[in-house]
């Protein structure tokens, strides 16, 4: 039986209440929260048949480990996500759209990547099991509910997983500031996985060599590179935009 994990913050807790209320075993709310946001949470919990345990701020600080909990926390089972990339790919009825993060260790970056992945229709995020952050309470809070909608699949051997994706016809597109190909003109059609490296160091050599193409984001300012979560958001948006435009063109529609 998977160990329950702690969720905190209104976005993470209300999203889980909406997506999978049966997974919540304990729900805590600061006893002096009487505002509209707290009342909406109370109403949602009541509809789901979940009782709320009123607690003081000190108790929440102790549970969460810091004070950035917004007065709400919950103990919940891990979301019922796919445990292998095949579980995702075998159910798709559209070209695969994946995000591979190689060695991202900052939970805020993973949380932000999850938000972008959810916003732009990514089917799954793939991360290595070692030397990378997994989905923890901080990630879930930053993700604002996206940790419950986008599977994060941890793999033992990232290079092998990338090779397997290629055998399924998925193009691996690495993002790098010094790439020879521009995001503005890159072909982003068909099954595709964006591959982004760790904060600061970028793509590891083996990961880079496993990519089919390397694409860069043209920058016009003085900043030489973007944070990994910002770069991911830009790349995912560009892909989504290109696909929607292609779909509209095929159907003869316009927007």
Domain 5-76 architecture: 2-Layer Sandwich (3.30)
Percent of the chain with pLDDT over 70: 95
Spelled out in words, what is the top-level CATH class assigned to the domain 85-251? alpha beta
When pLDDT is cut at 50, 70 and 90, the band that residue 253 belongs to is low
Check the CA dihedral 146-147-149-155 and report its sign: positive
User: Tokens 């998977």 — which residue?
Assistant: 2
What distance, in Å, lies between the first and last C-alpha atoms of the chain? 48
What is the pLDDT averaged over residues 8-17? 82
Residues 41-51: tens digit of each pLDDT: 999 999 999 99
Residue 179 CB-half CA count within 13 A? 27
pLDDT-based confidence at residue 220 (cuts at 50, 70, 90): confident
In this predicted structure, what is the pLDDT of residue 200?
74
C-alpha to C-alpha distance for 67 and 149, rounded to whole angstroms: 26
pLDDT band at 243 (very low <50, low <70, confident <90, very high): confident
Q: Which comes out higher in pLDDT, residue 135 or 152?
A: 152
**Given the structure tokens 């397997």, which residue do they identify?**
164
Name the band, by pLDDT with cuts 50, 70 and 90, for residue 2: low
pTM as predicted: 0.72
Q: Answer whether 18's CB lies under 8 Å from 41's CB.
A: no
The whole-angstrom separation of Cα 71 and Cα 91 is 38
Alpha carbon dihedral 165, 166, 168, 171, in 10-degree steps, equals 90
pLDDT score recorded for residue 255: 43
pLDDT above 50 for 254: no
**Chain-centre distance for alpha carbon 128:** 14
Average pLDDT of the residues in 180-199: 93
Determine the pLDDT at residue 66.
Answer: 81
Cα–Cα distance list, 235 to 24, 176, 248 (Å): 34, 11, 20
Range of weakest confidence among 23-27, 64-68, 71-75, 235-239: 64-68
Encoded tokens for 231: 């770069």
Range(s) within the chain of domains with CATH label 3.30.1330.30 = 5-76
Residue 1's pLDDT band, with cuts at 50, 70 and 90, is very low
On whether the CB atoms of residues 32 and 54 are closer than 8 A, the answer is no
Q: What is the strand order of the sheet 72-76 is part of?
A: 5-8, 72-76, 24-30, 53-55
């Amino acid at each position: 039986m998977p160990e329950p994990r702690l969720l905190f913050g209104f976005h993470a807790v209300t999203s889980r209440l909406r997506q999978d209320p049966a997974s919540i075993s304990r729900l805590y709310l600061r006893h002096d929260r009487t505002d509209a946001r707290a009342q909406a949470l109370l109403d949602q919990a009541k509809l789901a048949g979940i009782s709320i345990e009123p607690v003081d701020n000190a108790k929440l600080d102790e549970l969460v480990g810091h004070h950035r909990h917004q007065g709400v926390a919950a103990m919940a089972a891990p979301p019922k996500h796919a445990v292998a990339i095949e579980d995702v790919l075998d159910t798709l009825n559209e070209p695969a759209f994946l995000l591979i993060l190689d060695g991202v260790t900052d939970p805020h970056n993973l949380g932000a990547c999850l938000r972008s992945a959810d916003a732009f229709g990514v089917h799954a995020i793939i991360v290595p099991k070692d030397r990378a952050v997994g989905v923890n309470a901080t990630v879930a809070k930053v993700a604002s509910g996206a940790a419950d909608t986008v599977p994060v699949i941890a793999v033992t051997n990232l290079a092998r997983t990338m090779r397997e994706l290629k055998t399924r016809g998925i193009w691996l597109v690495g993002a790098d500031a010094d790439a020879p190909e521009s995001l503005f003109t890159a072909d982003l059609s068909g099954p595709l996985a964006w591959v982004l490296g760790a904060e600061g160091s970028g793509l590891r050599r083996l990961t880079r060599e496993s990519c089919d193409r390397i694409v860069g984001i043209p920058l016009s300012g003085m900043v030489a590179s973007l944070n990994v979560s910002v770069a991911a958001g830009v790349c995912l948006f560009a892909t989504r935009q290109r696909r929607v435009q292609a779909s509209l063109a095929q159907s003869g529609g316009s927007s």
